Structure 1
Amino acid sequence: MRYFIDLAYLGSAYHGWQIQPDAISVQQVIQQALSRILQQNIEVVGAGRTDAGVHATQLYAHFDSEVLLNEETLQFKLNSFLPKDISIQQLFKVQPQAHARFDASSRSYEYHIVNSKDPFKIDLAYYLLKRPDVKKMNRAAAMLKDYTNFKCFSKSRTDVKTYNCTIAEAFWEQTENELIFHITADRFLRNMVRAIVGTLLEIGYDKNSVEFLKEILKSEDRSMAGSSVPAHGLYLTKIEYPKTALFDGL
């Protein structure tokens, strides 16, 4: 039987989602907890990866079990085993062919910036004293939807078959205390969101023009884009799936 888990985590203590040979990861911690509870070797497949220090308010993953499970009981036990910075929000049975990664149709991220020193957000948002020009950054962000090749924002030496992504939305929101960048796409490259945010901030601080973003995108050259912003301000916030019978629980 195949089960989906809807989880959230604070990424500060982890070297990202994916299992690493010499560092602790969220995937590793969840697999070990499930294997111990179910007394069988469990492999967990996530809907995507997050880099070291990146948080998730929603990430779906799936695992297979040889026996039928009581979802509510397992969710309670799993949350009891897991550290306080990882939470299982929901656990439910799906059709055997459902796949957390390959069936996902879109992923959404937020990047949080604060413009005043806040001790309660020191590890949860990027502190920038000077406010950038949000209108310019939003004009530039809107242009991202006109392109599909985002090699210029990809981490170097990334082993991918294509650098193409379809961005559905990208915009900045100014709240009373935070500046938040929202972006949704069918897929993301490694480091892509943090590189986009860094590039847009350079435009917001008048280091580059809005139109120069077109040159960066056409170049397919990572060195043309801005520096990546720190990981602790980035959140994976939503994974969406097609409305099919496979995902009645979503």
Structure 2
Amino acid sequence: MRYFVWIRFDGTAYHGWQIQPNGMSVQEKLQDGLSLLLRRPIEVVGAGRTDAGVHAHQMVCHFDSEQPIDTTQLCYRLGRVLPRDISCEKIEAVSADMHARFSARRRVYRYFIHTKRDPFLRHYSVEMHYPLDFDLMNQAAAQLLTVDDFKAFCKAGADVKTTLCDVTTAQWVKTGESSYYFEIAANRFLRNMVRAVVGTLVDVGRKRISLEQFDRILQGGTRSDAGESMPANGLFLWQVDY
């Protein structure tokens, strides 16, 4: 039988979701917990990867078991053995053809920034020290919906078969006097894509590049023309839809 697991995690202490040879990962901690409780080696498959320091408001993964599982009890017990920066929200039995990665129809990321110093946001939002024109940034963000090739925002040397993505949402949202987030939704994302997009939009907001230049970056597909990748701590995998 196949089971989906919904978790949330603070990525500050981890080298990303995927198991790494030289660093602690969220996947490793989750597999250790499940293997301990089910008394056999368990491997989980995630909906995607997150880089070191990136958080997840919602991550979905799956594992297989030959024996039926009391999912409510397992979720409760898993919460007792996982580190305090990882929580299990629910576990559900699904059909055998469901796949945490390949069955996902949409993924949503949010990138948080704030423009006034706040010590309580430092791990989960990036402080900006310069004025930003958010109206202009939203005009540029709207252009993301008009293209399907995001090669300009793909990490150089990434091993991907295609750089095509169907972006359906891209907008800046104000949440307080000095706090904002950028939300972007798509069927798939390239490695480092969201942080590169945000960095380029920030360049628009700082008036370092124009809307016309942003459009040329979109059309040109050259990573070196796009903005710098933003810090990891402001990024959250927010939602995965099936």
Q: CA deviation at 1:131?
A: 2.9
What is the distance in 2 between the residues matched to 1:94 and 1:174? 37
Partner of 1:67: 67
Tell me by how many angstroms 1:210 deviates: 1.0
Say if 2:221 is the partner of 1:215. no
Is residue 79 of structure 2 the alignment partner of residue 79 of structure 1? yes
Q: What aligned pairs does 1:85-234 form with structure 2 within 5 A after superposition? A: 85-176=85-176, 177-234=178-235
TM-score normalised by length of structure 1: 0.95
**Aligned-partner SS, 2:211:** coil
SS in structure 1 of the partner of residue 66 of structure 2: coil
CA deviation after TM superposition for structure 1 residue 38, in Å = 0.5
Is 1:124–1:232's contact at 8 Å kept on the other side of the alignment?
yes
Give the C-alpha shift of residue 30 in structure 1.
0.3
CA deviations 1:44-77 (Å, max 9, x no partner) are 0001111110000001100011211101110111
For residues 13-54 of structure 1, the C-alpha deviation after alignment (integer angstroms, 9 at most, x for no partner) is 001111111111101110111111111111100011111100
d(CA) in 1 for partners of 2:179, 2:33: 36
Deviations 1:137-163 (A, max 9, x none): 000000001111111101111001000
Q: Deviations over 1:159-217 (max 9, x none)?
A: 01000001001000122131110100000000000000000000000000011111111
Q: How many residues align?
A: 241
The separation in 1 between residues aligned to 2:219 and 2:122, in whole angstroms, is 36
CA distance in 1: counterparts of 2:229 and 2:173, whole angstroms: 20
**Following the alignment from structure 1 to structure 2, what is the Cα–Cα distance between the partners of residues 175 and 86?**
25
Structure 1 partner of 2:32 = 32
Q: Which residue of 2 aligns with 1:246?
A: none
Q: Distance in 1 between matches of 2:110 and 2:11?
A: 14
* Partner SS for 1:217: helix
| Structure-2 separation of matches of 1:55 and 1:132 | 24
TM-score, normalised via structure 2 length: 0.98
User: What whole-Å deviation, never above 9, does each CA across 1:69-106 have from its counterpart, x for those lacking one?
Assistant: 10111011111010000000011111111111000001
How far did residue 130 of structure 1 move?
2.2
- Quote how far apart the aligned CAs of 1:129 are: 2.4
Code of the aligned partner of 1:55: H
What is the CA RMSD across the aligned residues, in angstroms?
0.8
Equivalents in 1 of 2:121, 2:103: separation in Å? 34
In the other structure, the counterpart of 2:7 is 7
Give percent identity, aligned residues only: 47
2: CA distance between counterparts of 1:72 and 1:163?
39
What secondary structure, in the 3-state scheme, does the structure 2 residue paired with 1:184 have? strand
> 3-state SS of the aligned residue for 1:119?
coil
CA contact (8 A) 1:140 1:211 kept: no
